[in-house]
Amino acid sequence: MSVPSKRNYFMYPKDKWKQFYQGESVPITAKSLQQIKAFNDRISLQDVQDIYIPLIHLLRMRLDNFKTWHDTRAMFLQRPAQRTPFIIGISGSVAVGKSTTARLLEVLLSHFFEGYKIQMITTDGFLYPNKVLKKKHLMALKGFPQTYDMPALIKFLNAVKTCKREVKSPVYSHQVYDVIPHRFDIVDRPDVLIVEGINVLQLPSNQQIYVSDFTDFSIYIDADAKLIEQWYLTRLKKLMKTAFQDPLNYYYRYAHQNPEAVVKMAKRVWDKNDLPNLKENILPTRSRADFIIHKTHNHRIDKVYIRKY
């Protein structure tokens, strides 16, 4: 796949990027990192030190500038200064490690930004429930832009950005493969909100306001599609031996089927659904990100890109 444009991004190999800031040490242990990382993802404490510690410092500078600008604008308009949330968007393909990055940033920001309220949500909760997708004949396209309740997501982000109290975010369960009725995460005037999802940077053609209009810093997790496919299928094989063994799991019916047949089925799903969604709807949004984390074999981060302007 193509690489980000040199006209729009500075590219830094890992060894160069880590030199920009090492003023803090990693505040987590290897054991706690295991609990943070997504299933089948790989990340080391050295990755956290080399990639995420400089990123945290960059975010601190961005947040300081954000607060200064909002205070200055309030003074100019002769209005009371408002505690406007700083929203970080994290996007990328399925199986590329978005949730690991989101959870890791939540932990690191909570540690280093003392006194700040940090919260995180995933846009999966704004998928239409399965019964709606079936009615609309969209189950096979789950994850495509048309399968999300975008007006509800925009309404949620607008409420958060305007400092509404106790804003509800629907909860999605990967175990039951559906939105859980009447269950919500409550977002209550955070200083920083991390929003993770494949559609964070997308521009649906039928809307005048987009998710990215609410984000103040955006991150795209990038890797070659062939590698993502390998991670996707490897994760499936491991899930067949673990989570799929639960009778309550949506995929329980596959747990005791022929593994090779299940992998072939998953390969068809990747080819017909996930790969087209990546090419048509996710990858084109990469050029809108402020920061790109590029992964290579074994989920190893080899370089980062940062937008020039």
Strand pairing category for 167-173 and 291-295: unpaired
Residues within the annotated binding site for ATP?
Answer: 92-99
Q: What is the pLDDT of residue 204?
A: 60
Tens digit of each residue's pLDDT, the chain (309 residues): 677 877 899 999 999 999 999 888 999 998 888 888 877 788 999 999 999 999 999 999 999 999 999 999 999 999 988 889 999 999 999 999 999 999 999 999 999 999 999 999 999 999 999 999 999 999 999 999 999 999 999 999 999 999 999 999 999 999 999 999 999 999 999 999 999 999 999 876 556 678 888 999 999 999 999 999 999 999 998 888 888 888 888 888 888 889 899 999 999 999 999 999 999 999 999 999 999 999 999 999 999 999 998
Fold of 12-221: Rossmann fold (3.40.50)
What local confidence, expressed as pLDDT, does residue 207 receive? 63
CA dist 283 and 199 (Å) reads: 10
Per-residue tokens: 160 = 């958060």
| pLDDT confidence of residue 242 | 87
**pTM (predicted TM-score):** 0.94
**pLDDT for residue 138:** 96
What is the per-residue pLDDT for 41? 80
- Give the model's pLDDT for residue 176: 93
Amino acid at 99: S
Report the sign of the C-alpha dihedral through residues 26, 20, 95, 173, in that order: positive
All structural domains of the chain with their residue ranges? 12-221
Binding residue positions: 92-99
